[in-house]
């Protein structure tokens, strides 16, 4: 076994790009290990763990790029290093497409684009708050995709944004659509009268996609970050966004999606929402709908219901679920009763929560790495036990690798692992389309399903729910067909897949 490496001093690249290149290298023949990353403590530890010894290890800093490969021969390893360098050069060329100059600062960027009104930030969390602060100081709205930003910093940034009447979306905000422009992970959604505000990225993607599929459209979809309705942040951005939608002549009603807010925050939120002269539809995931209804708002029971009720209030679109109950019953009869355990392998956190909340009524116990009330903590996130529903987008799975909506590697491995377990009866997956997401996730999943089916004489059934629209950059129908050809049960909404699962359980 031989090692080849290349160090580029003071050359920064984002971790997602680097991790995807490392993955490509690992797929090559005769390559055993590959690490492409900045010289952070975590990456230096990874090198030690992979037993890749570099002579200059102590001199490296987080601004140095490392490409290190272990291969069968020196030639093979060196070729892989060269390939990584070429891929990075391609990447840099794309980044510099705005003439031959990519400015190193926001201020430099603003001199190229003086009308810039929004700053999209996805740099490492430890540096992200400073950059968000600079953007707000320059009176620009912020979408902060980065996570690992402290609650104190979030509060400081949101206070500043409220003071300056700006949007501060995030931290950890994966999805927004402003004036029809999808930002980060978002779907191509028709414009219309529904204004969405959500403290949940995949929740926003699923609900907006379903509104589109039901024939409706949205004015805005504003992500606020998962902690906005916590006691400390007190719904600052949810309220600011809802108020702006209240004043917006294009918005006829407001739909709010979030985990149940902190109790003290709820009173203030309801008070502010009542001041708006527009109907409000609310889906607080897992909360009591009565509490919402008695305050004069419309309560939704799941993400599809939120989309249906929003369309209904706006006087547009069909008013029934995309798959009728009768059809679901037919599917369930065809599938037969589920013998064995259920395994849910999710890339979307909100969908993982929603599956647990609905299924815990019929299935017990359910284990998860992100258990909702009534479900239990999974001891080892890499090892399922009994009924298990996991979110592969959580930190324990994404440290050192890209999110499962971009990088399918880990989910494919886990899928094959679950399909090799004779105690498993049904596997649930989500496929999230849209900007930012993998260009052909259906083929990736299909590859793992084919491999998985070879493991047992009677492999478990697989069901997939697709979140997306026909306007998304991936071809929705083609993605659906790829899965259907693989004898997978395919659903156009997450809730319909979960209801199908319930019916299969009741068939027993």
Partner 1 sequence: MSDLNGLFEQKIQVINLGLPAFYKDLQHQEIPVVQVDWNPPARGNKKLQSLLGKLKK
The least distance separating partner 1 from the CB of residue 218, rounded to whole angstroms, comes to 12
Residue with tokens 């529904």: 194
Residue 96 or 301: which CB sits closer to partner 1? 96
Residue 104 or 457: which CB sits closer to partner 1? 104
All residues at 6 or more sequence positions from 313 whose CB lies less than 8 Å from its CB, including other chains: 252, 253, 279, 281, 298
Residue 28 or 120: which CB sits closer to partner 1? 120
Residue 105 or 478: which CB sits closer to partner 1? 105
Residue 14 or 78: which CB sits closer to partner 1? 14
The least distance separating partner 1 from the CB of residue 91, rounded to whole angstroms, comes to 6
Cβ–Cβ < 8 Å for 454, 441: no
The least distance separating partner 1 from the CB of residue 324, rounded to whole angstroms, comes to 35
Task: Give the residues across from 366 on adjacent strands.
Answer: 387
The least distance separating partner 1 from the CB of residue 415, rounded to whole angstroms, comes to 24
Residue 195 or 492: which CB sits closer to partner 1? 195
The least distance separating partner 1 from the CB of residue 479, rounded to whole angstroms, comes to 18
Q: Are strands 387-391 and 298-299 parallel, antiparallel or unpaired?
A: unpaired
Residue 134 or 453: which CB sits closer to partner 1? 134
Tell me the CA distances in angstroms from 439 to 27, 203, 298, 391, 408, one per residue in order.
18, 21, 36, 21, 11
The least distance separating partner 1 from the CB of residue 493, rounded to whole angstroms, comes to 24
Cβ–Cβ < 8 Å for 359, 342: yes
Residue 277 or 380: which CB sits closer to partner 1? 277
Omega before residue 478 within 30° of 0, cis: no
Please state, in angstroms and rounded to a whole number, the distance separating the CA atoms of residues 376 and 395: 18
Residue 123 burial (C-beta neighbours within 10 Å; 0-12, 13-18, 19+):
middle
Cβ–Cβ < 8 Å for 66, 38: yes
3-state secondary structure of 68: strand
Q: Is 163 left (phi over 0), alpha (psi -120 to 50) or beta?
A: alpha
All residues at 6 or more sequence positions from 201 whose CB lies less than 8 Å from its CB, including other chains: 173, 174, 175, 185, 223, 226, 348, 349, 350
The least distance separating partner 1 from the CB of residue 234, rounded to whole angstroms, comes to 16
CB atoms within 10 A of CB 313: 20
Residue 240 or 446: which CB sits closer to partner 1? 240
Cβ–Cβ < 8 Å for 306, 207: yes
The least distance separating partner 1 from the CB of residue 169, rounded to whole angstroms, comes to 11
Residue 14 or 32: which CB sits closer to partner 1? 14
The least distance separating partner 1 from the CB of residue 360, rounded to whole angstroms, comes to 36
Please state, in angstroms and rounded to a whole number, the distance separating the CA atoms of residues 65 and 18: 9
Please state, in angstroms and rounded to a whole number, the distance separating the CA atoms of residues 311 and 313: 6
The least distance separating partner 1 from the CB of residue 376, rounded to whole angstroms, comes to 35
All residues at 6 or more sequence positions from 81 whose CB lies less than 8 Å from its CB, including other chains: 4, 5, 6, 67, 68, 69
The least distance separating partner 1 from the CB of residue 351, rounded to whole angstroms, comes to 22
The least distance separating partner 1 from the CB of residue 438, rounded to whole angstroms, comes to 11
The least distance separating partner 1 from the CB of residue 435, rounded to whole angstroms, comes to 4
Cβ–Cβ < 8 Å for 466, 476: yes
Site for partner 1, rule CB under 8 A: 10, 12, 14, 16-17, 38-40, 61-63, 91, 94-98, 102-106, 108-110, 112-113, 115-124, 127, 130-131, 135, 139-141, 145-146, 162, 164-167, 178-179, 181-184, 219-220, 240, 243-244, 246-248, 250, 406, 435-436, 473
Residue 149 or 427: which CB sits closer to partner 1? 149
Residue 288 or 395: which CB sits closer to partner 1? 395
Sign of CA dihedral 324, 325, 329, 332: positive
Residue 108 or 296: which CB sits closer to partner 1? 108
CB atoms within 10 A of CB 274: 12
> What are the phi and psi torsion angles at 500 (to 5°)?
-60, -45
3-state secondary structure of 377: strand
């Amino acid at each position: 076994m031989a090692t080849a490496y290349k160090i580029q001093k003071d050359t920064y690249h984002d971790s997602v790009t680097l991790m995807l290149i490392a993955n490509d290298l690992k797929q090559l023949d005769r390559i055993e290990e590959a690490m492409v990353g900045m010289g952070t403590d975590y990456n230096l530890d990874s090198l030690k763990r992979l037993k890749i010894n570099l002579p200059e290890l102590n001199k490296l800093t987080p601004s140095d790029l490392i490409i290190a490969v272990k291969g069968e021969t020196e030639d093979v390893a060196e070729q892989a290093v060269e390939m990584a360098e070429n891929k990075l050069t391609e990447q840099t060329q794309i980044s510099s497409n705005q003439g031959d100059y990519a400015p190193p600062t926001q201020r430099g960027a603003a001199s190229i684009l003086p009308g810039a009104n929004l700053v999209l930030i996805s740099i490492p969390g430890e540096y992200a708050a400073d950059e968000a602060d600079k953007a707000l100081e320059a009176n620009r709205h912020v979408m902060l995709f980065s996570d690992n930003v402290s609650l104190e910093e979030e509060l400081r940034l949101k206070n500043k944004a409220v003071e300056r009447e700006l949007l501060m979306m995030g931290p950890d905000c994966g999805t927004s659509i402003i004036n029809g422009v999808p930002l980060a992970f978002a779907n191509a959604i028709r414009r219309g009268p529904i204004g969405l505000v959500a403290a949940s990225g995949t929740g926003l993607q699923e609900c907006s996609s379903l509104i589109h599929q039901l024939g409706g459209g949205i004015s805005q979809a504003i992500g606020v970050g998962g902690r906005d309705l916590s006691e400390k942040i007190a719904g600052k951005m949810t309220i600011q966004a809802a108020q702006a939608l209240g004043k917006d002549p294009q918005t006829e009603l407001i739909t709010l999606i979030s985990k149940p807010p902190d109790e003290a925050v709820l009173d203030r939120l309801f008070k502010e929402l009542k001041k708006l002269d527009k109907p409000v539809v609310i889906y607080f995931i897992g909360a009591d709908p009565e509490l919402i209804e008695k305050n004069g708002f419309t309560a939704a029971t799941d993400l599809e219901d939120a989309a249906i009720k929003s369309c209904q209030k706006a006087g547009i679109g069909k008013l029934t679920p995309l798959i009728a109950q009768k059809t679901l019953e037919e599917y369930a009869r065809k599938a037969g009763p589920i013998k064995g355990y259920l395994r849910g392998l999710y890339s979307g956190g909100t969908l993982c929560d929603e599956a647990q909340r609905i299924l815990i009524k019929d299935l017990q116990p359910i284990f998860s790495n992100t258990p909702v009330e009534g479900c239990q903590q999974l001891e080892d996130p890499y090892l399922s036990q009994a009924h298990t529903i996991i979110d592969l987008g959580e930190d324990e799975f994404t440290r050192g690798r890209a999110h499962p909506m971009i990088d399918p590697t880990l989910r494919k491995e886990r899928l094959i692992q679950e399909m090799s377990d004779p105690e498993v009866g049904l596997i649930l997956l989500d496929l999230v389309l849209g900007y930012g997401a993998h260009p052909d996730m259906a083929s990736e999943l299909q590859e793992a399903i084919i491999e998985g089916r070879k493991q047992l004489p009677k492999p478990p059934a697989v069901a997939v729910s697709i979140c997306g629209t026909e306007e998304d950059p991936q071809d929705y129908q083609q993605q659906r067909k790829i899965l259907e050809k693989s004898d997978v049960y395919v659903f156009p909404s997450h809730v319909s897949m979960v209801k199908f699962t319930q019916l299969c359980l009741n068939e027993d």
